Structure formats: C-alpha cells, structure tokens
Amino acid sequence: MKKSFLGNSGIEVSEIALGCMSLPTEAKQAGIIVDEAIAQGINYFDTADLYNKGINEEVVGKALKHHRKEIVLATKVGNQWSAQSDEVKWNPTKAYIKEQIHASLKRLQTDYIDLYQLHGGMITDDAEETIEAFEDLKKEGMIRAYGISSIRPNVIKRFLDKGNIASIMMQYSLLDRRPEELLDSIGQAGKSVVTRGTLAKGLLTSEGLQRAGKTDDFLSYSKDELKNTLKKLLAVHDNLHALALHSILQHDTIRSVVAGASSADQINATIKAYETSVSPEQITQAKTITRQDIYQEHRDKVTGP
C-alpha cells in the first residue's frame, strides 16, 4: 500500500483509508473489519463526532486502541447534535470546538487526534475564529494537524488563504468530477485532498449496473444516462471499482480515497481493485466518457468560472 504525506503536516497516510461511518456498532464485528484494514496496509481511519451521535467514535476508539501508534486517526467537529432529538445545529465557534475535542478524545480513547477536520462550513462563518481554535489545539498537543471537509469553493478558498490546513476532504468520483477545477490550485498551495464518495454509492463497483437499475438518477445523470455511462466505462475496463479508484488517485493532489466498509469482504474488494492495473490511457478514456461539471453554487468572484 503506497503512502504519502498530507500537505506539510508530516503525517503519512495510505492511499486507501477506511471511512468508519458504516462500521457495525457491535465491537467484535467492528474489530474484525478494522483488523482486516490494518492487515491490508491501511493506516488511515476517518470518523466524526456526528456519526451515530458519538457512538461511531466509541466503536473506532475501542477497535483501534491497541493499534494507536501504527495508525492515523481523523475525526470531525462542527455539527452540534442533541442527545434528546435528531436536531443538529451548525457550530464552528472556537468555544464549541475546544469543548468538543475533549468529548472526542474520551470516546476515541486517545490523548491526541492526528487530523481534526471542520465538518462542513459556510461563507458566513467566522473562519478566523475557527482557525484560531485549531491552531490552539495544535499548540496544546491535542491535534497534529487540521483540515476541512467541504465542497464549497468559497469556503475552501478562505481556509487556503487564512489557515494552515493540511487537507480538504471532498466528494470526488468519475461521476462527480466537480472538484477537478480546484485540484491544481489546492496542490500549488501545498495542501492535499482526500476523497469521499469515490465509489458513488456503489455505482462504480461490480454491482454498478444492478444499482443503477434501482436508481432514478445520480447528480446530473438521468437514469438512462447513468446506465449508458456505466456500460461505456465497463467497455474501457471490466473492473469498475479499479477504474474508479485509480482515476481519482492519479492526480498528485489526491492523497487518499476514504472508502467505507461494513464487512471485511468489502475491504478486500477495495484492496483487490486498488491492486488491479489501470493504464493512463484507460483513465483518459474514462474521463472522455464522464462529465466534468463545476460547482454552480457557493462561489465568489475569485473562484467563479
């Protein structure tokens, strides 16, 4: 498993990461999946305090407790959830971030977080205050680096300009190529991108056509367009899963694909796809078949087309 550094953080992550949101809540089952990920060379594990109201962090903490020095642990903050209801409020304030890290550390059974990420962001936020909170936590030794999880060009630009982020998590796949307009500028700024949604809800796996038959549409693709596009991609490479992963990882700014798994078999399928050869020509072909849309919202004059 190839590893590379997140921005200028000095943190080295595997090209495939385990997105922990789909882990079972039962400790033994979750432990089997995590152990398999580590055995396959994955060292990067991503969760969030929002997932299942903190229970996911507890599951991850228990599963990784005995591997802490071997792995990179990432979590997220900013969504203030109510223990009594399903209500979630956006709260990127310094006070909230510095309060919540203690809760995350306790659930994760660790005394530091490798990568602490703002779980969203709006242009109306006080970004300077948020950045100050993260910088304080770095100085206090509670986090090694910080980043954001956002697809909004104006929010991304603000954090690139004002903060010392290591990474940006973005939804990016062959069926959602909107981040491509931003990748070069992010890389030139010395920052890295980690991706989510790279398998497009399973559409870019061996079950892709079957899932497309049960899907009305996907982003700007109609049902028929989606099925036709997947058929064309299969003509380029008979392993959609492999084509999906390598088409994203080929850009120098991308450091890791964060892929979810609810079973050890799913981890093994992703690793097998990762180890399957995909040529640069096949990636080029795949990108002539799919659309390169751009973000239509959350732009300003500087980041606009």
As a whole number of angstroms, the distance between CA 106 and CA 111 comes to 8
pLDDT of residue 121: 86
Q: Which residue has the tokens 């071997």?
A: 70
Question: How many percent of the chain have pLDDT more than 90?
Answer: 87
Which residue has better confidence, 119 or 279? 279
* pLDDT tens digits for range 36-56: 999 999 999 999 998 877 799
Instruction: With cut-offs at 50, 70 and 90, classify the pLDDT of residue 80.
Output: confident
* pLDDT tens digits for range 243-301: 999 999 999 999 999 999 999 999 999 999 999 999 999 999 999 999 999 988 788 65
Domain boundaries, the chain: 11-199+251-262
H-state helical runs in the chain: 27-39, 55-64, 94-108, 127-139, 153-162, 180-188, 208-213, 223-236, 240-249, 264-274, 280-289
* pLDDT tens digits for range 146-172: 999 999 999 999 999 999 999 999 999
Written as six digits, the tokens of 77 are 């903050």
- Pairing mode, strands 113-118 and 192-196: unpaired
Contacts of residue 239, Cβ cutoff 8 Å, sequence gap at least 6: 206, 273, 276, 278
Conformation bin of residue 242: beta by default, left when phi > 0, alpha when psi is -120 to 50: alpha
Contacts of residue 281, Cβ cutoff 8 Å, sequence gap at least 6: none
Q: Is the dihedral of CA 27, 78, 172, 258 positive or negative?
A: negative
pLDDT of residue 301: 55
The CA angle 78-32-63, to the nearest 5 degrees, is: 40
Please give the average per-residue pLDDT across 167-186, as a whole number.
96
String of DSSP letters for 82-148: -SSSS-EEE---HHHHHHHHHHHHHHHT-S-EEEEEE----TTS-HHHHHHHHHHHHHTTSEEEEEE
* pLDDT tens digits for range 193-216: 999 999 999 999 999 999 999 999
Per CATH, the homologous superfamily of domain 11-199+251-262 is NADP-dependent oxidoreductase domain (3.20.20.100)
Q: Annotated catalytic sites, by residue?
A: 51
pLDDT at 302 over 60: no
pLDDT of residue 85: 80
As a whole number of angstroms, the distance between CA 18 and CA 21 comes to 9
Instruction: With cut-offs at 50, 70 and 90, classify the pLDDT of residue 79.
Output: confident
